[in-house]
Amino acid sequence: MSAITATLGPVMAGVPVTKSQNFSRLSVKSLKASSEIGSLASQMSGVKISTTQFLKIAAAPISSPLRPSLQPVARRICPFTGKKANKANLVSHSNHRTIKRQFVNLQYKRIWWEAGKRYVKLRLSTKAIKTIEKNGLDAVAKKAGIDLRKK
């Protein structure tokens, strides 16, 4: 491992410096400097800088956190039809426009799944409920690409 030499200025130390002080004496290589840096570190609330930590971080592979494949329930999107909120303008008499959101009419619905011989609780738009009543749950789920066995 290589030795790091650093020169600390008056701003980093937080101590006012006169013109007669010599900054070269703050070199990490000298024994006198290590004691001065130790006192500076104690003035800096015990913050320690280590090169080994930086090497470990650089060597470690960067990976993203594990994310579930299912969408969160709180999203205001129908999983079967893909319907989501619309932006609209409220226009007053003076033609002043205010943006408002028109959300999808999502309902929690327990639907009998014939192939699975059980009820499936889903959060659907009212349009999706009508489509499921007309075409059946399996056909609509297959068209939307949703696997009902996971839920």
- Tens of pLDDT, residue by residue over 69-124, are 655 556 899 999 999 999 999 999 999 999 999 999 999 999 999 999 999 999 99
* pLDDT above 80: residue 57: no
Q: Is the pLDDT of residue 33 over 70?
A: no
- pLDDT, position 27: 46
Distance CA 37, CA 6 (A): 10
Q: What is the pTM of this model?
A: 0.48
pLDDT at 139 over 70: yes
